Structure 1
Amino acid sequence: MKYYSVAVPVPVYRLFDYSFPEKIQPGSRVRVQFGNTEKIGYVIEELKTGASVEDPREITQIIDPEPLINKSLIKLGKKLSEYYISPLGEIMKSILPVSVKLPSRKLKERPCILPTKSDFILSNEQESVLKAIKKRLKKGEAGEVLIHGATASGKTEIYMHIAQSLIDSGFQMLILVPEIAITAQIVRRFEERFGTRSIAIWHSRMTPVRRGQTINRLRSGDADILIGTRSSVFAPFNKLGAIVIDEEHDQTYKEENPPYYDARTVAGFRSEIEKALLILSTATPRMESMHRARQGEIELLEIKEKISGTAATQIEVVDMREERRGFFFSRRLLSSMEETLDRRAQIILLINRRGYAPFVICKNCGENIKCHNCSAGLVYHQSRNLLLCHSCGRETAPPSNCPECSGKIFRYSGAGTQRVISALGKIFPDEKVLRLDSDQVAESGADEIYNKFTSGKYSIMVGTKLVAKGWDFPNVELVGVINAEMGLMYPDFRAPERLYDLLVQISGRAGRGNRPGRMVLQSMNPTHYAIRELLSGEYMSFYNKEISIREEAGFPPFSRLVKITASRTSRATAFKRLKLVSDKLSEIDGVFLMGPVESGGFSRRGKSYHLIVKDTLGKGKVRLAELATEGRLRGLRIDIDPEEMI
């Protein structure tokens, strides 16, 4: 009889011993009896010295005839279990879901596209970036590089040249994209260059059998390039040479459910383990990434010019305090829309609808009311007639005077895509308007929406932040931002960074064809530094301002955050459980606690409450790991490096 250490996906920080008469390779999924139920576990290793318990239960079934998880992925799983303070079984379930099945018959293939040669001539900047990356690949250097390239600067073309270089050397490539909605665009470009046989796709909506087929193609080396969303970072490769994270600033790379992994962090660990080059790419690098580049930890490569040769998008800011109250469109935006439609060019309108509750804005200066403790935007709760900080928990009565300018008149925000589309129908009754948001993508599919708009049947597209993703609409000349200041009111220290990212990205949707693009940005707070630095066109000006604020406040990259949440329970019980944890952390050097406080999200089963741990020296996380192994965190959700503070 042989003995094996098995990771079972249960919220327990340990492995379990099982027996089996035959040899089982590590990485195989097996069916085991666990308590009174059957579960699928993951063989981590064979126990050469025997089981740690007397007479362990026997494995009831081997699911995989050969392991689908290789040694590198097991090593990655262990690393992630330690980093995210998450049971190894839960991590292994993310790496290879229990539902994945290998196909028993040949599945229908996508229409065959043969590879074609490109006559595209790289710019000098593109050539310089490509040369630096090829130099690393030739030397077999892993590590990380950051491509800071302007929107429409041809980053995808660089990816294709890197892919060709890797394929020629016998390696494979993973390209991570933030949204399933835009996967089809980049896949189409790669298939036209490399043919369908070389390309594999990975996303959350794949069937278990289709995912199994993709795993087979990658393991056998049949597929050279995998293009996928967040979970594709766990895909097994035969010989991985490089990982590209496109739009690395995008927060959708963070998983919102246990084990709350961040695909960018996972890719970093995987790059180290498999000696693959990690390439971060975006027009708006995260503060953390640029800080590491400035510290010399990663190589910075820059592309400043658009490949089309057209000038950067012209941006005009409209002070909405001087416009008609309660009307979505300024006079300048309306006149720009009329001019654009007369030329039969297209328009994108962005509704910056972020958050779920009203924010209080001073009508005089445009500032939203902020928390005195942590500077996050305060949220108005009408039922209690108070302002609540969902970041640190501070409560305050609505002010009678604005703390910035002493103004006495306030307004409460609110605008949505449906209301804007309805207003457009009255102003431009002869123009067809298309909606693009997550609900519409789920209903119609991204491909259908993309084809409808590029066909020219629709003149105007209205959407939320999804419209700012990497869409390529060559006939769009004008972008209008309806309510830019909404991004600043979200109660999170990252709000200015996210607003800046959003505005840069949405500006890049205009002028991708032969004619220059324009953007009309409406705001009640036009002098905010995120908008001011956008007009300067210099990312580093924004970075320098924002990083100084972060350093003074002790937020990332100058600390690590942990969010601990108690959900589906009463306020008293939640606070009691969270206080037990905070008491264990409060005396640790370099640890600062925020909360407990009611969370922003709500569940039909009850409210949630959370505690934010700001850890500047790393000692708090070490103590949390100890508490987890002692069983003190059972029933609490632990989110390492959270993207959301509420």
Structure 2
Amino acid sequence: MKDSEYNVVEVAVPVPVRSSFSYLSKNQILPGTRVKVSFGSRTLIGVVISSSTKSNFQKDLKSIDSVLDDKELLNKKDIELISWLSNYYKTPIGEVAKLFFPPSMRKEIEIPDEQEIFELTQKGEFYSEDLLKKSPKQLEMLSYFRKEKTATRHGLKSISYDSRILRELIKKELISKKKIKYKEEIQYETTENFLELNSEQKAAYESFKESLGSFKVHLLFGITGSGKTETYMHVVRDVLENHKQVAVLVPEIGLTGSLEKSLKSRFGNKVVTMHSSLSNKDRQRSWKSIQSSSAKIILGTRSSIFTSTPDLGLIIVDEEHDSSYKQNEMPCYSARDTAIYKAKLHDCPVVLASATPSLESFNNAKLKKYALNKLEERVSEASKPKLELMDLRGKEIISGLATNTIAEIKKELTNGNQVMIFQNRRGYSPVVVCESCGWSPNCLNCDVRMVYHKQTNKYSCHHCGYAENYFQECKVCPNNELSFYGAGTEKLEESLRTIFPDFPILRIDSDISYKKDLNTLLAQPLKGEPMILVGTQILAKGHHLPDITLVVILDGDFSLYSIDFRATERMNQLITQVSGRSGRGNKSGKVLIQTFVPEHPSLEKVVDSSYETLAENLLQDRNQNKLPPFYHSINLITESTSYISCKEELIKIRSMFVNPHIDVIGPQPCIIEKRKNIFRWQISAKSKNRTLLHNSLNRVLENHKIIGNKVRLSIDVDPL
């Protein structure tokens, strides 16, 4: 059979090859449709990205095995976004295309049309709690339904539900179960009213509203507690009234819960979430409701930006500065930058919101590329917290806390207030060492020390997850007593329980929050009782805890001597964000920053200057030193079980960069040279001209072929 009798379709197949592949089809297949194809000895699922009626090929082509969808699942703008992501981030187009589907749809799986809904019955509303006294778990679930009225199985995960308990309540006719079509609306009560905006908020809101229906990037630069969320809630309402969709991005899963609750209290059943903690079924169901336009608000983490939104009218990127928006593995995309390009394709505005904007966004606002909307006052009666440096020199320190700091904590607790202590190290002791020979328990797979975790009684690697059971003796010399230094969140929590036995201590870090729902944990301080919260940067992001009056930052020196040129920017952002948890209610707030170098210029500026002033100073330094955002960079990373192969491959690649306007640094080992038993080396190429840099790299990639499979090459465009 001749090629001319067929349609030729280009298929993005999930293989590590940058181009698409041509296949034949008797029927026309629209771009955005999933197809099953033969690829070598394998059968794979790919996505059609283009189709033509005539073949330009003289050779024989394989035919499509089967078409999996009755209609296209991705629209033209999705295909354009896939192409842009592949070209800009130098990633095989098939590897990008698969990200636009939930995991279960990357396989040949039928999408279900129904889901289970559980509702409180009239009998359950008035059922006597005394009858459930002997069944506290049933009573807990019934109380949840009396508050929420309706729930899905995913919603019940917030109370760690047991399906047996649910069955018992259904059997007693306190809860009913039914199945609904996905296009039917799940009813949620809308209980929260919109608050009146102040003059700054109104000005920002009017600016957003004015740009609806056209592409524009807004930087919402508002200090902590200034009402950024309330401001963009108002424009979300306008978008929904125009029958359009809104995508809201947050940097971490832990931030979705409180924002989801707030969105549902305003907009009810129109809200769905998309993130990796959802089950495959729930992600698939959310995806389908978004793709069919029955869901109007999509709340999710970075990968949710790939969800097909046919009626997109607005994108909001909350905490836009957060490095979690950048993926560290290929494709090394920035969800923030992808959101901007997606908004351009859909001809809609995008709002980048932050109290501490990235220097890239701040500079674009200075250059008038972005509209700058500033909120410089806290809402209601809240006042800005007072920042102080606590000089640790010559002071007694207990598990990282100076005795003066302990006295300040005691004073706040005695006055009925809450205290937050920030320590960005989880575990018990970050440093374990033999004082006789200097040996430390290192990870077998990575080039890093392991951290002792008392809760699990293990030494753990925070990079690959490798762990060893606790041992006390050195494995190199006869010494049988290892020494433990430093204080992680576990040790800090233990010490605080000893120092303040009469007050609750709540630890919140990834060791805890992965086991328990973060919103359930954060509900405890919302009761207003005096207590101490101990946590990592999870606590620094976006949480409204109105009774915290004192924030303590244990290690204010953490970034002062880093080799990372972004370290000072991140330190400023983190201190500002952590400080923003203090004094958010009607009480004034205070922030203590413990340091051994209080005279350091960077710390003095943090205390005495606004974030805007800090950003201006950093931009001057970056410009003088040929660093982003004034220069653009790309890292090329080789990974191999062979140390020599990593280095040799990069030497070949470096020799291919011949343009005098491109600076190339390396080859050199990555900061963590060995991870998961794989050696890692890199070169960094930078230029003032972004187009020149990308074109040069494209030529390198076209001409360079890695021989064999000993080395894996990764490309990180705009690395963080």
The reply to whether residue 268 of structure 1 matches residue 268 of structure 2 is: no
Which secondary structure does the structure 1 equivalent of 2:693 belong to? helix
Letter in 1 for 2:7: K
Partner of 2:90: 85
Partner of 1:29: 34
Partner of 2:551: 479
Per the TM alignment, residue 147 of structure 1 is displaced from its structure 2 partner at its CA by 0.7
Per the TM alignment, residue 325 of structure 1 is displaced from its structure 2 partner at its CA by 5.5
1:412-461 Cα distance to aligned partner (Å, 9 max, x none) = 99431112112212211222222111221112221222223434578111
1:485-531 Cα distance to aligned partner (Å, 9 max, x none) = 11334431100000110011111111122212111111123233442
1:246-298 Cα distance to aligned partner (Å, 9 max, x none) = 01010000112211111011011111111110111100011011111111111
Which secondary structure does the structure 2 equivalent of 1:261 belong to? coil
Which secondary structure does the structure 2 equivalent of 1:575 belong to? helix
- Contact 1:103–1:210 (CA<8 Å) still a contact in 2? no
Letter in 2 for 1:156: T
- Contact 1:350–1:481 (CA<8 Å) still a contact in 2? yes
* Alignment of structure 1 residues 116-265 onto 2, 5 Å: 116=191, 118=193, 120-137=195-212, 140-195=213-268, 197-265=269-337
Highest Rg: 1 or 2? Answer: 2
| Structure 2 residue corresponding to 1:437, chosen from 495, 502, 509 | 509
- Contact 1:233–1:263 (CA<8 Å) still a contact in 2? yes
Per the TM alignment, residue 66 of structure 1 is displaced from its structure 2 partner at its CA by 2.0
Greater relative contact order structure (CA < 8 Å, 6+ sep)? 1
Per the TM alignment, residue 583 of structure 1 is displaced from its structure 2 partner at its CA by 1.3
Which secondary structure does the structure 2 equivalent of 1:315 belong to? strand
Report how many aligned residue pairs link the two structures: 590
- Contact 1:148–1:302 (CA<8 Å) still a contact in 2? yes
* Alignment of structure 1 residues 288-299 onto 2, 5 Å: 288-299=360-371
Letter in 1 for 2:382: T
The reply to whether residue 632 of structure 1 matches residue 711 of structure 2 is: no
**CA distance in structure 2 between the partners assigned to 1:601 and 1:265 by the alignment:** 29
- Contact 1:30–1:60 (CA<8 Å) still a contact in 2? yes
Ranges in structure 2 where 5+ consecutive residues have no aligned partner: 1-5, 118-149, 152-186, 432-446, 450-483
- Contact 2:640–2:712 (CA<8 Å) still a contact in 1? no
- Contact 2:192–2:266 (CA<8 Å) still a contact in 1? yes
**CA distance in structure 1 between the partners assigned to 2:411 and 2:565 by the alignment:** 38
1:226-258 Cα distance to aligned partner (Å, 9 max, x none) = 111101111111211111110101000011221
The reply to whether residue 48 of structure 1 matches residue 53 of structure 2 is: yes
Per the TM alignment, residue 305 of structure 1 is displaced from its structure 2 partner at its CA by 0.6
* Alignment of structure 1 residues 403-552 onto 2, 5 Å: 414-455=486-527, 459-552=531-624
Change (3 A) 1:159 1:494: same
The reply to whether residue 69 of structure 1 matches residue 77 of structure 2 is: no
- Contact 2:399–2:486 (CA<8 Å) still a contact in 1? no
- Contact 1:352–1:487 (CA<8 Å) still a contact in 2? no
Which secondary structure does the structure 1 equivalent of 2:416 belong to? coil
| Structure 1 residue corresponding to 2:7, chosen from 2, 6, 10 | 2
Per the TM alignment, residue 24 of structure 1 is displaced from its structure 2 partner at its CA by 1.7
1:560-609 Cα distance to aligned partner (Å, 9 max, x none) = 12111111332221111111111112543232324422432632322211
1:104-128 Cα distance to aligned partner (Å, 9 max, x none) = 2411346342224625211111011
The reply to whether residue 623 of structure 1 matches residue 696 of structure 2 is: yes
Which secondary structure does the structure 2 equivalent of 1:267 belong to? helix
**CA distance in structure 1 between the partners assigned to 2:20 and 2:56 by the alignment:** 11
Bigger Cα displacement from structure 2, 239-248 vs 415-424: 415-424
The reply to whether residue 60 of structure 1 matches residue 68 of structure 2 is: no
Bigger Cα displacement from structure 2, 205-214 vs 1-10: 205-214
Change (3 A) 1:414 1:344: same
Identity over aligned residues, as a percent? 29
**CA distance in structure 1 between the partners assigned to 2:448 and 2:101 by the alignment:** 43
**CA distance in structure 2 between the partners assigned to 1:513 and 1:251 by the alignment:** 28
Bigger Cα displacement from structure 2, 50-59 vs 263-272: 50-59
**CA distance in structure 1 between the partners assigned to 2:27 and 2:190 by the alignment:** 46
The reply to whether residue 578 of structure 1 matches residue 583 of structure 2 is: no
Which secondary structure does the structure 1 equivalent of 2:588 belong to? coil
**CA distance in structure 2 between the partners assigned to 1:327 and 1:586 by the alignment:** 54
Change (3 A) 1:210 1:601: farther
Q: TM-score, normalized by length of structure 1?
A: 0.87
**CA distance in structure 2 between the partners assigned to 1:427 and 1:177 by the alignment:** 36
Letter in 2 for 1:289: S
The reply to whether residue 612 of structure 1 matches residue 617 of structure 2 is: no
Letter in 2 for 1:184: G
Letter in 2 for 1:157: E
Change (3 A) 1:419 1:601: farther
**CA distance in structure 2 between the partners assigned to 1:528 and 1:297 by the alignment:** 34
1:62-121 Cα distance to aligned partner (Å, 9 max, x none) = 222222211101001111111111111111122225523564241134634222462521
Letter in 1 for 2:99: S
**CA distance in structure 2 between the partners assigned to 1:601 and 1:510 by the alignment:** 39
**CA distance in structure 1 between the partners assigned to 2:603 and 2:110 by the alignment:** 51
**CA distance in structure 2 between the partners assigned to 1:66 and 1:321 by the alignment:** 69
Which secondary structure does the structure 1 equivalent of 2:393 belong to? helix
- Contact 1:562–1:612 (CA<8 Å) still a contact in 2? yes
Per the TM alignment, residue 463 of structure 1 is displaced from its structure 2 partner at its CA by 1.2
The reply to whether residue 107 of structure 1 matches residue 115 of structure 2 is: yes
